[in-house]
Amino acid sequence: MAFSLSHFLALLLPPIPLLLLTTVKPHPGFGWPESGACVPGRSWAVRLGASDEDGRRLDDLAEAVAQEAGLQNWGQIGQLEGHYLFCYAPHGQPEEISAAAKVLAAHPDVAWHSQEQPLRRAKRSMEFNDPRYPKQWHLHNEVRAGMDINVTGVWERNVTGSGVTVVVVDDGIQHTLQDIQPNYSPEGSYDLNSNDPDPMPHPDSRGDNHHGTRCAGEIAAAPNNSFCAVGVAYGSRVAGIRVLDGPLTDSMEAVAFNKHYQVNDVYSCSWGPEDDGRTVDGPHPLGKVALQHGVIAGRRGFGSIFVVASGNGGQNEDDCNYDGYANSIYTVTIGAVDENGRKPFYAEKCASMLAVTFSSGDGLLRSIVTSDWSMQQGTGCTEGHTGTSAAAPLAAGMVALMLQVRPCLTWRDVQHIIAYTATKYEDKEADWMANSAGFRHSHLHGFGLLNAWRLVNAAKVWESVPFLVSYQSPVLREERTIHAHPLVSTVTWNVTAADLLESGMQTLEHVSVAVTVSHPRRGNVEITLICPSGMTSVIGAHRSMDVDPSGYNDWTFSTVRCWGERAEGVYSLQLTDYRQGALNIGVLNQWKLILYGSSMSFDEVKARQRVVEDAMGGQYLNSSFSLPCPPGLDIPPESFSPLTSNILKSLLLLGCLALFASLYYMLEVTLFHVDSRGLCRRRRGHSNIEEGDELEVGSMLAPEDKEPIMGRHSST
């Protein structure tokens, strides 16, 4: 006789019925679950000592046995043949219950029975004693399904950011706070406002230096300390760089971007130029160089991850492509959506937006619950963290989760994985557009919502992309009048296969266009880039409040919307002038096209998409599977600090080109099994990144105003 399922199960008993308690089928005729009707202590799992082959239907036998014991038969337990759940009536007395047990014990057809008791099973990591955790909807949204970052399953698998350090570049962090202290990293911290190692915020008359502490709590607030909240990456360490509490200069910014860059893995920057709808500004020369140096030499050469907020100028028609931090290819540009997944009034849109995550919304929609400082009126906890300021640290925390499972992800791998995994959803306003590589992007939402589960599972199986290559067109002098809307002025540039041969570029990442436009009211101009596939990007949005008469002087606009597409083909730039009256004549003086990408073929892009989707079941996260990681470069922990800013400037100006060239060369050789086609050859139209415009060091420093990015209706 074959070894039947029931024999096999009998060997495993008694644990199985207990484990499967929750899979009991509802018994027809009994309401299920009737409150109090069949609860532990009143229920028995029973295995009958007969089988269907004995000539009696097991269901009938079970019914008879249950009646003899004075119990109700609730039917077969799950898929376990011969196993039934019996229950005592809702209001039975203890002595009646024990009598039933005696009947079962003595019954000849009962092979085994067990009175069920509640099992002590904690929902792993899901239950915290932190009093505000239940209100952290962005982590677990019970009201609006799917409107959270989908992180709890990652935590259950012990992915909490362990081994990763995130630094909050802001107005300081109160690291003595209960929720911050356990994960605080003094090694990654610094105070550039007071020039000391301690980034403790200074209370000021406006009481608003709580910003960095709130961001730090979102990332790494300690769990299960009966205090406030839980961070996205509560196993990570969090550092603070205090830089926003005072005048900020280009050199301070440059120091901040590379501070302790072998300790700090992720830089969370919730600030930027003014969001007034008429500013065009970004990192100045040293800041630019520092960003580039960070991605080349930070994290032992894998590259610092710079996460920046897209800005809060939505109500001013601001667009993050006028923000050079967002626009930079070196940054992960993160926008905000509200609890409904809609763009809140303050959020900005742009073609270089990589993805969005949650923050505050209009009206009654909830804000972000996080740690707060306890200085001044602070309680150490807030339910009112708002704006794209609150979104960027959530993204930084999610990157920390990715880096735990795959520490050798490069700065570009992180951007790729976001593009491959961000989730789309129904939103009439979003205007999702699919590019020819199958990536869907919205100027409002980037590639979609960051999803921690998808990010981490993709990270686990992600092999580093080939090294970065770029292509630059010559400067294209046009001197062409810009037509009035709805007419457009179009200029084109054809990138041929021969143009791409030396760099080996096949598919695109960022596409940038440096534009010089003369216009007496530049906000009237709208600039659209069309990639060879036909994918359109509004790289320069029309901004009615920008009345600046100086036009754009070689401003670099970027888009991520052509990600993964073939690089070869004709690129078009279309300009139109939303002028009132006939007098505002604008001119496109010149432009230059810059493509960034790699030798990854179009087919490889599609293959990676499949690999990523195949990993979404969590099977690689569950197993001991791991891809090999190269060790990284041995880079001195701090190549700039503690130099003075003057020495820093000189060093950067004089030495950076050589330094970067050598570092990047090393990086390519060491990490990416260099393909010699892309190296050491320079000619018009072809370059690796160290030669690009990004390194042009032009006008010198001016103190800049950098505003923390917060919602207008911030509670404090």
Residues acting as catalytic residues:
170, 211, 389
Decide: 242 and 199 in contact? Cβ < 8 Å: yes
Residue 100 vs 173, nearer CB to Ca ion? 173
DSSP state for residue 668 in the 8-state scheme: H
110 vs 455, beta carbon nearer Ca ion: 455
Residues in 278-317 at the binding interface with Ca ion, rule: CB under 5 A? 311, 313
Given the DSSP bridges, would you call strands 707-708 and 507-518 parallel, antiparallel or unpaired? Answer: unpaired
The residue within the footprint of Ca ion, chosen from 194, 423, 518, 670 (CB under 5 A), is 194
Q: Which residue in 148, 179, 218, 704 binds Ca ion (CB under 5 A)?
A: 179
φ and ψ at 182, to 5 degrees?
A: -60, -30
Q: Tokens 């390519």 identify what position?
A: 668
Listed in sequence order, the residues at least 6 apart from 200 whose beta carbon sits closer than 8 Å to its beta carbon are 172, 173, 174, 175, 176, 191, 242
The amino acid at residue 40 is: P
- As measured in angstroms, the least distance from the Cβ of 326 to Ca ion is 5
**Helix residue ranges per DSSP H, 200-333:** 211-220, 250-258, 285-297, 324-327
The reply on whether position 245 binds Ca ion by CB under 5 A is: no
Q: Which helix (H) or strand (E) holds 479?
A: strand 476-481
In angstroms, give the least distance from the CB of 518 to Ca ion. 23
Q: CB nearer to Ca ion: give 6 or 388.
A: 388
Q: Taking CB positions, which residue lies at the least distance from Ca ion?
A: 311
Which of 141, 225, 436, 533 lies at the binding interface for Ca ion (CB under 5 A)? 225
**Cβ closer to Ca ion: 192 or 482?**
192
Instruction: Specify whether the CB–CB gap between 612 and 652 falls below 8 A.
Output: no
**How is the chain split among helix, strand and coil, in percent rounded to 5?**
30, 20, 50
Report in angstroms how near the CB of residue 267 gets to Ca ion at its nearest.
13
Tell me which residue of 517, 521, 542, 525 sits closest to 316, measured CA to CA: 542
Based on the shown chain and the rule CB under 5 A, indicate whether residue 267 belongs to the binding site for Ca ion.
no
- Closest CB to Ca ion among residues 227, 596: 227
- The stretch among 25-33, 191-199, 379-387, 704-712 that binds Ca ion (CB under 5 A) is 191-199
Burial class (CB in 10 A: 0-12, 13-18, 19+), 153: middle
Which of 261/322 has CB closer to Ca ion?
322
Residue number, 323 or 568, with CB nearest to Ca ion: 323
Instruction: Please select the residue that binds Ca ion; options are 198, 204, 276, 463, rule is CB under 5 A.
Output: 198
* Of the residues 275, 509, 690, 704, which one makes contact with Ca ion according to CB under 5 A: 275
Say if residues 586 and 514 touch (Cβ distance below 8 Å): no
127 scored as a contact of Ca ion (CB under 5 A): no
Q: How far is the CB of 377 from Ca ion (least distance, A)?
A: 20
Q: Considering the complex, state which of residue 148 and residue 323 has its C-beta at the smaller distance from Ca ion.
A: 323
Nearest to 209 by CA among 194, 231, 187, 188: 194
Cβ contact 147:175 at 8 Å? no
Asked if 218 interacts with Ca ion (CB under 5 A), we say: no
Residue 382 or 590: the one with the smaller Cβ distance to Ca ion is 382
Residues 78-117, mask of contacts with Ca ion (x by CB under 5 A): ----------------------------------------
Burial of 423 (0-12, 13-18, 19+ CB in 10 A): middle
Concatenating the DSSP letter of every residue in 43-78 gives EEEEEES--GGGTS-HHHHHHHHHHHTT-EEEEEBT
Q: Is 333 in the site for Ca ion (CB under 5 A)?
A: yes
Q: To the nearest whole angstrom, how small is the minimum distance from the Cβ of residue 280 to Ca ion?
A: 10
Query: By rule CB under 5 A, what count of residues binds Ca ion?
Result: 18
> How far apart, in whole angstroms, are the C-alpha atoms of residue 356 and residue 45?
49
Q: Contact between 415 and Ca ion (CB under 5 A)?
A: no
Q: Please, are residues 45 and 82 in contact by the beta-carbon 8 Å criterion?
A: no
CB of 198 to Ca ion, least distance (A): 4
One of 148, 170, 323, 694 touching Ca ion (CB under 5 A): 323
Asked whether the beta carbons of 215 and 377 are under 8 A apart, the reply is no
Q: What are 97's two structure tokens?
A: 């219950």
Task: Mark the segment that binds Ca ion (CB under 5 A) among 115-123, 175-183, 422-430, 588-596.
Answer: 175-183
546 scored as a contact of Ca ion (CB under 5 A): no
Q: Is 170 in the site for Ca ion (CB under 5 A)?
A: no
Please confirm whether the linkage preceding 486 is cis (ω < 30° from 0).
yes
Task: Answer yes or no whether residue 563 interacts with Ca ion by CB under 5 A.
Answer: no
By C-beta, is 313 or 387 nearer to Ca ion?
A: 313
| Nearest C-alpha neighbor of 550 from the set 587, 580, 517 | 517
Residue 257 found at the interface with Ca ion (CB under 5 A) = no
Residues 648-707 that bind Ca ion (CB under 5 A): none
Does residue 372 belong to the site contacting Ca ion (CB under 5 A)? no
Q: Closest separation between CB of residue 3 and Ca ion, Å? A: 52
Q: Which residues sit opposite 327 in a β-bridge? A: none
In whole angstroms, give the CA distance from residue 47 to residue 77: 10
Give the shortest CB-417-to-Ca ion separation in angstroms: 15
CB of 53 to Ca ion, least distance (A): 59
- Cβ of residue 201: shortest distance to Ca ion, in angstroms? 9
Binding segment for Ca ion (CB under 5 A), chosen from 151-159, 187-195, 246-254, 684-692, is: 187-195
Q: Is 161 helix (H, G, I), strand (E, B) or coil?
A: coil
Cβ proximity of 466 and 413 under 8 Å: no
What residues are paired with 593 via a beta bridge?
513
Which of 318, 413, 502, 568 binds Ca ion (CB under 5 A)? It is 318
How far apart (Å, rounded) are the C-alpha atoms in residues 561 and 176? 43
Residues 44, 137, 227, 373: which binds Ca ion (CB under 5 A)? 227
148 vs 318, which CB is nearer to Ca ion?
318
- The minimum distance between CB 99 and Ca ion, in angstroms, equals 50
Measured CA to CA, the distance from residue 356 to residue 53 in angstroms comes to 60
Q: Which of 38, 48, 83, 130 binds Ca ion (CB under 5 A)?
A: 130
List the one residue out of 181, 178, 130, 18 whose CA is nearest residue 85.
18
User: What is the contact surface with Ca ion in residues (CB under 5 A)?
Assistant: 130, 179, 191, 194, 196, 198, 221-222, 225, 227-228, 275, 311, 313, 318, 323, 331, 333
